[in-house]
Amino acid sequence: MFCYQCQEAAKGTGCTVNGVCGKKSDVANLQDLLVHSAKGVAVYSGELRKVGYSNKAVNKYLLESLFITITNANFDADAIVKSIKEGVELRDELKKVAAEKGITSKFADHDVATWIPGDRNELETKSETVGVLRTENEDVRSLRELITYGLKGLAAYGHHAMNLEKENPEIYSFVEKALVATLDDTLSADDLVALTLETGKFGVDVMALLDAANTEAYGHPEITEVNIGVGTNPGILISGHDLKDIEELLEQTDGTGVDVYTHSEMLPAHYYPAFKKYKHFVGNYGSSWWNQNPEFESFNGPVLFTTNCIVPPKSGNTYADKVYTTGAAGFPGFKHIADRPEGGKKDFSAVIEHAKKCAAPTEIESGTIVGGFAHNQVIQLADKVVDAVKTGAIKKFFVMAGCDGRMKDRNYYTEFAEKLPQDTVILTAGCAKYRYNKLALGDIGGIPRVLDAGQCNDSYSLAVIALKLKEVFELNDINELPIAYNIAWYEQKAVIVLLALLYLGVKNIHLGPTLPAFLSPNVAKVLVENFGIAGIGTVDEDMKIFLS
Ligand code: SF4
Ligand code: SF3
């Protein structure tokens, strides 16, 4: 195996034996083969789409196959093999339709378009030949992978939007074009840099689409105090990012005597008006994804993963038989809730019945946290915010969105938040917030010093807020705003968020805790020279840079 797609890549270069994330080498290789299968589909679906042929199953496959390969989403080799085979079947159906229409592809002879899956052993042997290292030139490899990881993040967000019946065919068309481009040896590094920025453009589009899907279905997030204590009923803990799943779980648990709690990236579900009517939607339990071993243990009830981030249970943990996955998520031994049938709903009755037999959660903390500062809510407060900036009560905003992770050096973000001067405000989204969202950082004239917009995809909200402020202050350039970007990344959703910000023209983003292993020195140089991307140093050094 060779995998360097996330921030935990071993030794800062890549995982070669087992993943630091817990992914075994067979799973890592099979995930590479799944991306290979998606490319085979894209070779034909891209050509067919140009003549107006589109197919729902293809759209779903393109998003789901890429989503499955995101860090910490799916560790289940059997599920991945099933998806690989589905991809090849889909490719062959499309190949037939293309032949009937007299359409071919420049890549019709490429392995992605011709290989045939054998038995499991053959699949595993094949999977060792299609990974990252197939591209010899390190700069081309770096750009191909940067685009692929952006596509994985984009696919995850597109999948959530699709579940809410919001789709944009241009996004599918771009996914196909970009997947096929990663096969194209005639493209220069400059071509791939341009495609990287185009990936960012579609990152903005997909986040806007998901924002519209979420807000049209559930209303605009509003300022909300979320309980972090527990009630006395048994509960279900729901994690991940999929709001359609939590909607159906809340409906199906209503009146059953089973409460629902959010974990990690599901916390922002509390900010949506549509979910507030549920009295049994009690609060948020615990913190960020990487703390799940002890937190799931003390929760006592079943856990439902709608997406990443899954941490393999430690030996000795007793909760493993209480975990369920659904959608793109999977883990061997966890039970999987099937997809909703066309026009129907998922059936969470097994999870609910399981919960009824469990004890109520053990309290690990109490009190509340405040969030819900997505674009619509912040724009309602615009006058107050603008006044605070004009009077100097707020000197600077710090975008500290992105991912959390288990590495000790992420304490940097807690210390950074603590040391920020009192006249600064943190704008956050994603699980990065857990490094500082329970600190008593106070407020500025009633505006909390940590404004949480929501999940990582709600980084879109932060961009909308920045663009609104640019308009209010009549500036020519988004970079003239008093906003600094100190972003934490972990997995590939953060990659698409980063590419989206670059596409919007945001410069001088600091990215930590370490720069991606998949950036070759030359590609890193392009990002530094054109966008001022930098890593992080010590808190004190960085504070001086940011406040100068
Ligand atoms: Fe390693 Fe990250 Fe890949 Fe897991 S996803 S194998 S930790 S680089
Ligand atoms: Fe977190 Fe996994 Fe990235 Fe959605 S839950 S931000 S790491």
| Domain residue ranges of the chain, discontinuous segments joined by + | 1-134, 224-356
pLDDT tens by residue, 152-202: 999 999 999 999 999 999 999 999 999 999 999 999 999 999 999 999 999
Which ligand approaches the C-alpha of residue 458 most closely?
Answer: 2
Provide mean pLDDT across the span 84-104.
Answer: 98
| Amino acid making up residue 169 | P
Residue ranges around ligand 1 (CB below 6 Å): 3-6, 8-9, 15, 19-21, 23, 28, 71
| CA–CA distance, 522 with 101 (Å, rounded to integer) | 43
pTM of the model: 0.98
Task: Give DSSP secondary structure letters for 169-235.
Answer: HHHHHHHHHHHHHTT-TT--HHHHHHHHHHHHHHHHHHHHHHHHHHHHHH-----EEEE-S--SS-E
Residues in the chain: 548
| CA–CA distance, 24 with 17 (Å, rounded to integer) | 8
pLDDT tens by residue, 393-414: 999 999 999 999 999 999 999 9
Provide mean pLDDT across the span 364-392.
Answer: 96
User: Which pLDDT value is given to residue 2?
Assistant: 98
Provide mean pLDDT across the span 33-44.
Answer: 98
- Centre of ligand 1 to C-alpha 340, Å, is 30
| Amino acid making up residue 500 | A
pLDDT tens by residue, 203-237: 999 999 999 999 999 999 999 999 999 999 999 99
Residue 548 has pLDDT above 90, yes or no: no
Q: Specify the residue with its C-alpha closest to ligand 2, atom 2.
A: 309
| Overall fold of domain 224-356 | Rossmann fold (3.40.50)
- Centre of ligand 1 to C-alpha 188, Å, is 28
| CA–CA distance, 8 with 49 (Å, rounded to integer) | 37
Q: Could you tell me which CATH class the domain 1-134 is placed in? A: mainly alpha
- Centre of ligand 2 to C-alpha 67, Å, is 13
Fold match flag (1-134 vs 224-356):
no
